[in-house]
A and B are shown apart, each in its own frame.
Chain A
Amino acid sequence: MGKDKREKKFYPDYFSEIIVSILIAVEILIILALIYYPSIGRQIDFTKPFQPRPEWYFLWLYQLVRYFPGKSAFIGTVMIPAAFVLLLLMIPYIDKGEKGRIKAVAAGSVILLAFVILTILSLL
Protein backbone atom coordinates (compact mmCIF):
# COMPACT_ATOMS: atom_id res chain seq x y z
CA MET A 1 0.00 0.00 0.00
CA GLY A 2 3.06 2.26 0.32
CA LYS A 3 2.36 5.84 1.39
CA ASP A 4 -1.38 5.42 1.27
CA LYS A 5 -2.45 6.41 4.76
CA ARG A 6 -6.12 5.89 4.12
CA GLU A 7 -7.62 3.70 6.79
CA LYS A 8 -8.18 0.17 5.55
CA LYS A 9 -11.78 -0.86 5.31
CA PHE A 10 -13.09 -4.36 5.44
CA TYR A 11 -14.53 -3.86 1.99
CA PRO A 12 -12.67 -3.79 -0.36
CA ASP A 13 -9.25 -4.02 1.35
CA TYR A 14 -9.58 -7.15 3.44
CA PHE A 15 -12.33 -8.59 1.35
CA SER A 16 -9.96 -8.78 -1.62
CA GLU A 17 -7.37 -10.59 0.51
CA ILE A 18 -10.01 -13.08 1.61
CA ILE A 19 -10.94 -13.66 -2.04
CA VAL A 20 -7.28 -14.44 -2.84
CA SER A 21 -7.04 -16.95 0.01
CA ILE A 22 -10.32 -18.54 -1.03
CA LEU A 23 -9.00 -18.96 -4.58
CA ILE A 24 -5.89 -20.66 -3.19
CA ALA A 25 -8.05 -22.92 -1.00
CA VAL A 26 -10.14 -24.00 -3.99
CA GLU A 27 -6.98 -24.52 -6.10
CA ILE A 28 -5.51 -26.86 -3.48
CA LEU A 29 -8.80 -28.76 -3.35
CA ILE A 30 -9.18 -29.18 -7.11
CA ILE A 31 -5.57 -30.27 -7.59
CA LEU A 32 -5.85 -32.89 -4.85
CA ALA A 33 -9.22 -34.13 -6.11
CA LEU A 34 -7.93 -34.46 -9.67
CA ILE A 35 -4.70 -36.26 -8.78
CA TYR A 36 -5.81 -38.45 -5.87
CA TYR A 37 -9.35 -39.33 -6.81
CA PRO A 38 -11.05 -41.87 -4.54
CA SER A 39 -11.21 -45.51 -5.55
CA ILE A 40 -13.83 -48.10 -4.71
CA GLY A 41 -13.04 -50.25 -1.70
CA ARG A 42 -13.42 -53.97 -1.33
CA GLN A 43 -16.85 -55.36 -0.63
CA ILE A 44 -17.61 -56.17 3.00
CA ASP A 45 -16.37 -59.60 3.99
CA PHE A 46 -17.65 -60.57 7.42
CA THR A 47 -15.46 -63.64 7.57
CA LYS A 48 -12.23 -61.73 7.06
CA PRO A 49 -11.87 -59.05 9.73
CA PHE A 50 -8.84 -56.97 9.02
CA GLN A 51 -6.97 -54.23 10.82
CA PRO A 52 -9.00 -51.17 9.92
CA ARG A 53 -7.45 -47.78 9.53
CA PRO A 54 -9.57 -44.75 10.40
CA GLU A 55 -9.27 -41.28 8.92
CA TRP A 56 -6.00 -39.61 9.86
CA TYR A 57 -7.65 -37.35 12.43
CA PHE A 58 -8.77 -40.40 14.44
CA LEU A 59 -5.43 -42.21 14.36
CA TRP A 60 -4.45 -40.69 17.71
CA LEU A 61 -7.57 -42.18 19.29
CA TYR A 62 -6.86 -45.65 17.89
CA GLN A 63 -3.32 -45.44 19.22
CA LEU A 64 -4.51 -44.21 22.63
CA VAL A 65 -6.93 -47.12 22.98
CA ARG A 66 -4.04 -49.59 22.61
CA TYR A 67 -2.55 -48.42 25.91
CA PHE A 68 -5.68 -49.27 27.90
CA PRO A 69 -6.56 -52.92 27.44
CA GLY A 70 -9.42 -54.75 29.11
CA LYS A 71 -11.44 -53.02 31.77
CA SER A 72 -9.43 -49.80 31.69
CA ALA A 73 -10.33 -49.22 28.00
CA PHE A 74 -12.85 -46.66 29.17
CA ILE A 75 -9.99 -44.30 30.10
CA GLY A 76 -8.60 -44.31 26.57
CA THR A 77 -11.87 -44.27 24.66
CA VAL A 78 -13.85 -41.74 26.64
CA MET A 79 -12.11 -40.11 29.58
CA ILE A 80 -8.94 -38.79 27.92
CA PRO A 81 -10.67 -37.58 24.70
CA ALA A 82 -13.40 -35.93 26.77
CA ALA A 83 -10.73 -34.32 28.96
CA PHE A 84 -9.03 -32.96 25.83
CA VAL A 85 -12.26 -31.43 24.54
CA LEU A 86 -13.05 -29.99 27.96
CA LEU A 87 -9.56 -28.57 28.30
CA LEU A 88 -9.85 -26.99 24.86
CA LEU A 89 -13.25 -25.52 25.72
CA MET A 90 -11.92 -24.06 28.97
CA ILE A 91 -8.86 -22.36 27.43
CA PRO A 92 -10.34 -18.84 27.87
CA TYR A 93 -10.85 -19.59 31.58
CA ILE A 94 -7.45 -21.19 32.05
CA ASP A 95 -5.89 -18.03 30.64
CA LYS A 96 -6.83 -15.91 33.67
CA GLY A 97 -4.61 -13.99 36.04
CA GLU A 98 -0.89 -13.37 35.95
CA LYS A 99 0.31 -16.81 34.91
CA GLY A 100 -2.79 -17.52 32.88
CA ARG A 101 -1.08 -17.41 29.50
CA ILE A 102 1.61 -19.88 30.60
CA LYS A 103 -1.05 -22.28 31.86
CA ALA A 104 -3.04 -21.89 28.64
CA VAL A 105 0.05 -22.50 26.49
CA ALA A 106 0.85 -25.59 28.57
CA ALA A 107 -2.69 -26.92 28.10
CA GLY A 108 -2.68 -26.12 24.40
CA SER A 109 0.69 -27.75 23.80
CA VAL A 110 -0.30 -30.88 25.73
CA ILE A 111 -3.28 -31.34 23.40
CA LEU A 112 -1.33 -30.55 20.23
CA LEU A 113 1.66 -32.71 21.19
CA ALA A 114 -0.58 -35.59 22.24
CA PHE A 115 -2.34 -35.40 18.88
CA VAL A 116 0.88 -35.22 16.86
CA ILE A 117 2.89 -37.81 18.82
CA LEU A 118 0.06 -40.37 19.00
CA THR A 119 -0.63 -39.93 15.29
CA ILE A 120 3.04 -40.51 14.46
CA LEU A 121 3.21 -43.53 16.79
CA SER A 122 0.18 -45.10 15.11
CA LEU A 123 1.84 -44.73 11.71
CA LEU A 124 5.05 -46.47 12.79
Chain B
Amino acid sequence: MGKIFDWIDRRFGVKEPHKKFLQRPAFGMPEKVNYSYCLGGMSFIYFLMLVCTGLLLSMYYVPSEKEAFKSVAAITNDVTLGWLIRGLHKWSANLFIIFIMLHTIRVFVSQAYRPPRELNWMAGVLGLVIAMASGFTGYLLPWDQKAYWATEVGTSMFGTVPFIGDYLMRFVRGGLDIDGATLIRFYSMHVLFLPASMAIILWAHFHMVKRQGIAKSL
Protein backbone atom coordinates (compact mmCIF):
# COMPACT_ATOMS: atom_id res chain seq x y z
CA MET B 1 0.00 0.00 0.00
CA GLY B 2 2.73 2.45 1.03
CA LYS B 3 4.76 1.60 -2.06
CA ILE B 4 1.87 2.27 -4.38
CA PHE B 5 1.13 5.55 -2.64
CA ASP B 6 4.77 6.61 -2.85
CA TRP B 7 4.85 5.79 -6.55
CA ILE B 8 1.85 8.04 -7.08
CA ASP B 9 3.22 10.71 -4.77
CA ARG B 10 6.53 10.96 -6.65
CA ARG B 11 4.44 12.13 -9.59
CA PHE B 12 1.74 14.00 -7.71
CA GLY B 13 3.72 15.55 -4.86
CA VAL B 14 0.90 15.87 -2.33
CA LYS B 15 2.56 14.26 0.70
CA GLU B 16 5.03 16.97 1.73
CA PRO B 17 2.75 20.04 1.52
CA HIS B 18 -0.03 18.19 3.32
CA LYS B 19 2.28 16.89 6.02
CA LYS B 20 3.02 20.51 6.86
CA PHE B 21 -0.66 21.29 7.24
CA LEU B 22 -1.65 18.13 9.06
CA GLN B 23 1.20 18.11 11.56
CA ARG B 24 1.24 21.82 12.29
CA PRO B 25 0.18 22.29 15.91
CA ALA B 26 -3.50 21.74 15.22
CA PHE B 27 -3.72 24.51 12.62
CA GLY B 28 -2.82 26.77 15.54
CA MET B 29 -6.06 25.56 17.03
CA PRO B 30 -7.29 27.35 20.13
CA GLU B 31 -7.58 25.45 23.39
CA LYS B 32 -11.35 25.77 23.65
CA VAL B 33 -12.26 23.55 20.75
CA ASN B 34 -15.17 21.16 21.25
CA TYR B 35 -17.35 18.90 19.19
CA SER B 36 -19.48 21.79 17.91
CA TYR B 37 -16.47 22.55 15.69
CA CYS B 38 -17.22 19.32 13.83
CA LEU B 39 -20.59 20.50 12.51
CA GLY B 40 -19.04 21.82 9.31
CA GLY B 41 -17.25 18.54 8.71
CA MET B 42 -20.49 16.65 9.28
CA SER B 43 -22.22 18.85 6.70
CA PHE B 44 -19.45 18.01 4.26
CA ILE B 45 -20.01 14.27 4.77
CA TYR B 46 -23.67 14.78 3.84
CA PHE B 47 -22.52 16.62 0.73
CA LEU B 48 -20.32 13.66 -0.24
CA MET B 49 -23.22 11.30 0.42
CA LEU B 50 -25.41 13.46 -1.81
CA VAL B 51 -22.86 13.32 -4.63
CA CYS B 52 -22.43 9.53 -4.37
CA THR B 53 -26.13 8.65 -4.10
CA GLY B 54 -26.98 11.29 -6.72
CA LEU B 55 -24.55 9.69 -9.20
CA LEU B 56 -26.22 6.33 -8.62
CA LEU B 57 -29.73 7.77 -8.98
CA SER B 58 -28.79 9.47 -12.25
CA MET B 59 -28.21 6.04 -13.81
CA TYR B 60 -31.89 5.19 -13.55
CA TYR B 61 -33.65 8.55 -13.46
CA VAL B 62 -35.04 9.82 -16.77
CA PRO B 63 -35.67 13.59 -16.85
CA SER B 64 -38.54 13.59 -19.31
CA GLU B 65 -42.17 14.51 -18.89
CA LYS B 66 -43.39 11.00 -19.70
CA GLU B 67 -40.70 8.93 -18.01
CA ALA B 68 -39.76 10.85 -14.87
CA PHE B 69 -42.54 9.61 -12.61
CA LYS B 70 -42.21 6.05 -13.88
CA SER B 71 -38.45 6.02 -13.43
CA VAL B 72 -38.72 7.23 -9.83
CA ALA B 73 -41.30 4.51 -9.19
CA ALA B 74 -38.92 1.98 -10.76
CA ILE B 75 -36.02 3.21 -8.60
CA THR B 76 -38.20 2.85 -5.51
CA ASN B 77 -39.79 -0.50 -6.34
CA ASP B 78 -37.70 -2.44 -8.85
CA VAL B 79 -34.06 -1.38 -8.76
CA THR B 80 -31.97 -3.35 -6.26
CA LEU B 81 -31.58 -1.19 -3.15
CA GLY B 82 -32.97 1.72 -5.15
CA TRP B 83 -35.31 2.65 -2.31
CA LEU B 84 -32.32 2.86 0.04
CA ILE B 85 -30.24 5.03 -2.29
CA ARG B 86 -33.21 7.33 -2.79
CA GLY B 87 -33.82 7.45 0.96
CA LEU B 88 -30.17 8.22 1.65
CA HIS B 89 -30.27 11.00 -0.94
CA LYS B 90 -33.42 12.54 0.50
CA TRP B 91 -32.24 12.37 4.10
CA SER B 92 -28.74 13.59 3.28
CA ALA B 93 -30.36 16.62 1.66
CA ASN B 94 -32.39 17.42 4.77
CA LEU B 95 -29.54 16.76 7.17
CA PHE B 96 -27.21 18.79 4.96
CA ILE B 97 -29.39 21.87 5.41
CA ILE B 98 -29.85 21.24 9.16
CA PHE B 99 -26.13 20.85 9.78
CA ILE B 100 -25.20 23.87 7.67
CA MET B 101 -27.60 25.90 9.80
CA LEU B 102 -26.14 24.51 13.03
CA HIS B 103 -22.63 25.16 11.71
CA THR B 104 -23.62 28.73 10.85
CA ILE B 105 -24.97 29.25 14.37
CA ARG B 106 -21.74 27.86 15.87
CA VAL B 107 -19.62 30.17 13.74
CA PHE B 108 -21.86 33.10 14.65
CA VAL B 109 -21.72 32.39 18.39
CA SER B 110 -17.93 32.01 18.43
CA GLN B 111 -17.62 35.17 16.28
CA ALA B 112 -15.45 33.30 13.82
CA TYR B 113 -16.66 35.59 11.00
CA ARG B 114 -14.42 38.42 12.16
CA PRO B 115 -11.52 39.59 9.99
CA PRO B 116 -9.68 38.04 8.27
CA ARG B 117 -12.48 35.50 7.88
CA GLU B 118 -15.20 37.76 6.41
CA LEU B 119 -14.82 36.24 2.97
CA ASN B 120 -15.06 32.73 4.33
CA TRP B 121 -18.29 33.64 6.16
CA MET B 122 -19.69 34.94 2.87
CA ALA B 123 -18.63 31.78 1.06
CA GLY B 124 -20.51 29.84 3.70
CA VAL B 125 -23.67 31.92 3.28
CA LEU B 126 -23.47 31.36 -0.48
CA GLY B 127 -23.09 27.64 0.19
CA LEU B 128 -26.32 27.67 2.21
CA VAL B 129 -28.12 29.50 -0.60
CA ILE B 130 -26.84 26.96 -3.16
CA ALA B 131 -27.91 24.09 -0.89
CA MET B 132 -31.43 25.53 -0.65
CA ALA B 133 -31.54 26.07 -4.41
CA SER B 134 -30.53 22.43 -4.85
CA GLY B 135 -33.36 21.42 -2.57
CA PHE B 136 -35.81 23.50 -4.56
CA THR B 137 -34.75 22.12 -7.94
CA GLY B 138 -34.52 18.56 -6.62
CA TYR B 139 -38.06 18.74 -5.25
CA LEU B 140 -39.55 18.80 -8.76
CA LEU B 141 -37.66 15.80 -10.09
CA PRO B 142 -40.01 13.02 -8.81
CA TRP B 143 -42.60 14.72 -11.05
CA ASP B 144 -45.59 13.89 -8.85
CA GLN B 145 -48.56 15.90 -7.66
CA LYS B 146 -46.75 17.41 -4.68
CA ALA B 147 -43.64 18.31 -6.67
CA TYR B 148 -45.60 19.87 -9.50
CA TRP B 149 -47.74 22.17 -7.43
CA ALA B 150 -44.96 23.16 -5.03
CA THR B 151 -42.86 24.20 -8.02
CA GLU B 152 -45.88 25.98 -9.50
CA VAL B 153 -46.07 28.14 -6.37
CA GLY B 154 -42.30 28.47 -6.03
CA THR B 155 -41.63 29.58 -9.58
CA SER B 156 -44.63 31.92 -9.64
CA MET B 157 -42.79 33.93 -6.97
CA PHE B 158 -40.32 34.97 -9.66
CA GLY B 159 -43.26 36.43 -11.55
CA THR B 160 -43.94 38.96 -8.80
CA VAL B 161 -40.77 40.93 -9.51
CA PRO B 162 -41.74 44.31 -11.00
CA PHE B 163 -41.01 44.93 -14.69
CA ILE B 164 -38.93 41.80 -15.41
CA GLY B 165 -41.17 39.35 -13.51
CA ASP B 166 -42.85 37.74 -16.51
CA TYR B 167 -39.59 37.32 -18.34
CA LEU B 168 -37.90 35.94 -15.23
CA MET B 169 -40.62 33.38 -14.60
CA ARG B 170 -40.52 32.22 -18.22
CA PHE B 171 -36.73 31.95 -17.92
CA VAL B 172 -36.98 29.81 -14.78
CA ARG B 173 -39.74 27.60 -16.21
CA GLY B 174 -38.39 27.40 -19.73
CA GLY B 175 -41.83 28.39 -20.99
CA LEU B 176 -45.14 29.72 -19.80
CA ASP B 177 -46.11 26.64 -17.83
CA ILE B 178 -44.31 23.90 -15.96
CA ASP B 179 -43.72 21.09 -18.41
CA GLY B 180 -40.95 18.88 -19.77
CA ALA B 181 -38.80 21.95 -20.48
CA THR B 182 -38.99 22.96 -16.81
CA LEU B 183 -38.15 19.44 -15.71
CA ILE B 184 -34.99 19.16 -17.79
CA ARG B 185 -33.99 22.70 -16.79
CA PHE B 186 -34.34 21.87 -13.11
CA TYR B 187 -32.56 18.56 -13.67
CA SER B 188 -29.62 20.29 -15.30
CA MET B 189 -29.47 22.84 -12.47
CA HIS B 190 -29.73 20.10 -9.86
CA VAL B 191 -27.06 17.77 -11.23
CA LEU B 192 -24.66 20.12 -13.06
CA PHE B 193 -24.80 23.83 -12.26
CA LEU B 194 -25.47 23.74 -8.53
CA PRO B 195 -23.14 20.86 -7.54
CA ALA B 196 -20.34 22.42 -9.61
CA SER B 197 -20.88 25.80 -7.92
CA MET B 198 -21.04 24.09 -4.54
CA ALA B 199 -17.75 22.27 -5.22
CA ILE B 200 -16.02 25.55 -6.05
CA ILE B 201 -17.48 27.28 -2.98
CA LEU B 202 -16.45 24.39 -0.73
CA TRP B 203 -12.94 24.34 -2.14
CA ALA B 204 -12.63 28.06 -1.36
CA HIS B 205 -14.19 27.52 2.07
CA PHE B 206 -11.70 24.79 3.04
CA HIS B 207 -8.76 26.55 1.45
CA MET B 208 -9.37 29.63 3.60
CA VAL B 209 -9.71 27.45 6.71
CA LYS B 210 -6.35 25.87 5.92
CA ARG B 211 -4.70 29.24 5.31
CA GLN B 212 -6.26 31.16 8.20
CA GLY B 213 -6.61 28.43 10.79
CA ILE B 214 -9.46 27.99 13.26
CA ALA B 215 -10.62 31.19 14.94
CA LYS B 216 -10.04 31.62 18.64
CA SER B 217 -13.38 31.61 20.38
CA LEU B 218 -14.02 34.34 22.91
**Which residues of A line the B interface, CB within 8 A?**
7-11, 13-15, 17-18, 21-22, 24-26, 28-30, 32-34, 36-45, 48-58, 61-62, 65, 73-74, 77-78, 85, 88-89, 91-93, 95, 101, 104, 108, 112
Contacts and interface: CB of A to CB of B under 8 A. Distances in A.
Given A50-B149, A52-B149, A10 B132 contact: no
B143 A44 contact: yes
A33 B41 contact: no
Interface in B98-116: 99, 105, 108, 111, 113-115
Contact of B24 (A9, A26, A37, A88): A9
B204 interface: no
B150 A93 contact: no
Chain B interface: which size bin? 35 or more
Given A25-B99, A43-B145, A9 B26 contact: yes
Contacts of B8: none
Interface in B122-170: 122, 125, 129, 132, 135-136, 139, 142-150, 152-154, 157-158, 160-162, 165
B157 A22 contact: no
Given A33-B84, A50-B149, A52-B149, A22 B135 contact: no
A26 B115 CA distance: 33
B23 interface: yes
A93 B15 CA distance: 38
Given A45-B145, A89-B125, A95 B114 contact: yes
Interface of B: 21-27, 29, 33, 35, 38, 41-42, 45-46, 49, 69, 72-73, 76-77, 83-84, 86-88, 90-92, 94-95, 97, 99, 105, 108, 111, 113-115, 117-118, 121-122, 125, 129, 132, 135-136, 139, 142-150, 152-154, 157-158, 160-162, 165
A29 B91 contact: yes
Nearest to B38: A21
Contact of B144 (A13, A33, A42): A42
A34 B143 CA distance: 23
Choose among B23, B77, B152, B153 the residue with the greatest number of A CB atoms under 10 Å from its CB.
Answer: B153
B29 A52 contact: no
B145 A44 contact: yes
Contacts of B21: 10
Contacts of A7: 25-26
A93 to B, nearest CB: 7
A41 B76 CA distance: 11
